[in-house]
Amino acid sequence: MTIREIRVTPVAFRDPPLLNAAGVHEPWALRTIVEVVTDEGLTGLGETYGDLGHLGKVRECAKSLIGLDVHDMNTMYARIGAIVGGVVSDLHGLTGAATKEKSVDRVFAAFEVACLDIRGKAAGVPVVDLLGGKARDAVPYSAYLFYKWAGHPGEEPDRFGAALDEAGIVEQAALLIKEYGFQSIKLKGGVFPPDQEIAAIKALREAFPGMPLRLDPNAVWSVETSIRVGRELEGTLQYLEDPTAEISGMSEVAAAVPMPLATNMCVVTPEHLPPAIASRAIGVLLLDHHYWGGLVRSSHIATLCDTFGLSLSMHSNSHLGISLAAMTHLAAATPNLTFACDTHTPWQDGQDVVVPGSLRFVDGAVPVPAGPGLGVELDRDALARMNEQYEKCGIVARDDTTYMQRFEPGFTARKPRW
Ligand SMILES: [Mg+2]
């Protein structure tokens, strides 16, 4: 099963004005869709970031993989490593520091997922079976709440409306829970002064008693602020995600607050694990196969976490159905991934590049797609439409900060802000 052709297609889809520490989501989110085709005519799907620098590397690497067998992941990784060469940064910084290894892993992941899709199809088994088999039949996701504007400036409000205070956040949670059945809640913080976000968590606790809650301010708090907030939220949070920057800062906070700390910012590549484990900086790692080098490498990281007593959850950026399928297969095959995963799916509000039907939410969980491979099929019309949107939208890299500065000229993404 050798690779005959690889198609790389950038796409854009509508994204609501979701607020975070870096600024605000732009009206269009970008992704890149990868189709790997074998000499036998099997096609595998992958999905990755859409930023232009990354897209360029994906395109360059795609050419170098023609003729490779879909099982030969070591050669694929080496070829991609040689081409990526150095650090490919993103502008938003919301998934931590860029390193050379992480840059290679980010490019490799899309091709690896596509090859696993092909291998599953060839063997007639779902990808979860290639990763060790199902530890669970359905993967729970959390309601991922955001402070948000009613609509993008100059546009009509979207159907989610504004969420700029406790009441708005509780209302948003109720809507997402009603539509998807979520049984855990995560609030993206780092937007308002910490006391306002503490009040939002307390309001969620009152409105949804017993529902696990998390707060993620994307490292905009100082160590002192993080410790104060952590202590004030004792008994309320399942975990506190990236309150402050760097492994050293997280380690200081972890020693002083009652709940575990989680991260998708200070531990984002294998070289971060030894110092984070040695300094007890985190209790929960948010896996993300898009930058941990695909599904198999993520499984290896999960095993390491088990060895060292770290729990697992899963991180998400704005994504489409190929990624949701890949995330679901990985989480289903990872016994120690016991926290509900993050997903931006509700914010895509039905926009997708996959044919509807194979992915659905039942009581907040996605049943593992049953078909061979990833179990999802590309919707060619949707792909063409979203590619056209990409060509027209005028955005080539995610930049929440510059977009925010259009409306709040004094805004900076400085850390710590509080
Ligand atoms: Mg996070």
Does the structure show a pLDDT above 90 at 95? no
384-395 pLDDT, tens digit per residue, is 999 999 999 999
Confidence at residue 91, expressed as pLDDT on a 0 to 100 scale: 66
CA 404 to ligand 1 center in whole angstroms: 19
CA distances for 67 relative to 2, 59, 72, 115, 214, angstroms: 5, 16, 11, 13, 46
**Class of domain 129-367 (CATH, top level):** alpha beta
Confidence at residue 3, expressed as pLDDT on a 0 to 100 scale: 98
193-216 pLDDT, tens digit per residue, is 999 999 999 999 999 999 999 999
Q: How many residues does the chain have?
A: 418
Contact (CB, 8 A) for 120 and 126 = yes
CA 25 to ligand 1 center in whole angstroms: 15
323-337 pLDDT, tens digit per residue, is 999 999 999 999 999
Exposure letters 122-156 (e unless 16+ CB within 10 A, then b): beeebbbbbbeebbbebbbbbbbbbbbbbbbeeee
Q: Where are the domains of the chain?
A: 3-127+380-392, 129-367
Q: Any idea which architecture 3-127+380-392 has in CATH?
A: 2-Layer Sandwich (3.30)
Catalytic residues: 188, 315
Whether pTM > 0.95 for this model: the answer is: yes
CA 71 to ligand 1 center in whole angstroms: 32
**Average of per-residue pLDDT across 307-336:** 98
CA 21 to ligand 1 center in whole angstroms: 11
Confidence at residue 87, expressed as pLDDT on a 0 to 100 scale: 82
Lowest mean pLDDT among 100-104, 177-181, 401-405: 100-104
CA 342 to ligand 1 center in whole angstroms: 9
345-393 pLDDT, tens digit per residue, is 999 999 999 999 999 999 999 999 999 999 999 999 999 999 999 999 9
User: What percentage of the chain carries pLDDT values higher than 90?
Assistant: 95
CA 216 to ligand 1 center in whole angstroms: 6
Q: 3-class secondary structure for the chain?
A: CEEEEEEEEEEEEECCCEEECCEECCCEEEEEEEEEEECCCCEEEEEEECCHHHHHHHHHHHHHCCCCECCCHHHHHHHHHHHHCCCCCCCCCCCCCCCHHHHHHHHHHHHHHHHHHHHHHHHCCEHHHHCCCCCCCEEEECEEEECECCCCCCCCCCCCCCECCHHHHHHHHHHHHHHHCCCCEEEECCCCCHHHHHHHHHHHHHHCCCCCEEEECCCCCCHHHHHHHHHHCCCCCCEEECCCCCHHHHHHHHCCCCCCEEECCCCCCHHHHHHHHHCCCCCEEEECCCCCCHHHHHHHHHHHHHHCCCEEEECCCCCCHHHHHHHHHHHHCCCCCCCCECCCHHHHCCCCCECCCCCCCECCEEECCCCCECCCCECHHHHHHHHHHHHHHCCCCCCHHHHHHHHCCCCCCCCCCC
